[in-house]
Amino acid sequence: MNRVERDFVIPAYYRYFSCKADACRNTCCNLSKTVSLEEYRNLVGLSCPEDIRRDLDASFSLRKDADSYKYADMHQNYFGNCYMLDSDGLCRLQSACGEEVLPSLCRYFPRTVKFGPLPFCCCGNGCARK
């Protein structure tokens, strides 16, 4: 995958954002996720506890229109949550294997990049104040 470097307009609050984790009402765990080929390969080859491996494998389906950026979909469970969401509201995958193994959507949520006349970074409207 090719990396592109660009300059972005970043609001002052962006650097000081901190996740509320299990106290959040709108987490990445409630979103359908699409992972890149690189992220998919990393997750499929990941050494992790057996229960996480089982749920991680069950959550993926390869896209019919797959490309290297949108390769596989990571689905939600029966309750509409990510398979990796633990009963304490935290991510089991992150707890067991570290933040660096998370797909980029999970790792950066709710931070996002918007492209317009100038590319800029922001945080999603779903985040409430502490």
The predicted-structure confidence for 71-109, as pLDDT tens digits, reads as follows: 999 888 888 888 888 888 788 998 899 988 988 877 777
Q: Pairing between strand 33-35 and 72-74?
A: antiparallel
3-state secondary structure of 108: helix
What is the Cα–Cα distance from 106 to 112, expressed in whole angstroms? 11
Average pLDDT across the chain, whole number: 78
Q: Which of 19-23, 107-111, 124-128 has the highest mean pLDDT?
A: 107-111
Q: Tell me, what's the pLDDT at 54? A: 92
How far is residue 43 CA from its own chain's centroid?
12
Which of 53, 62, 58, 55 shows the shortest CA–CA distance to 35?
A: 62
Residue 61 has pLDDT above 60, yes or no: yes
33 pLDDT exceeds 80? no
CA-based nearest residue to 75, from 50, 58, 88, 89: 58
Q: Please tell me what DSSP assigns to residue 106.
A: H
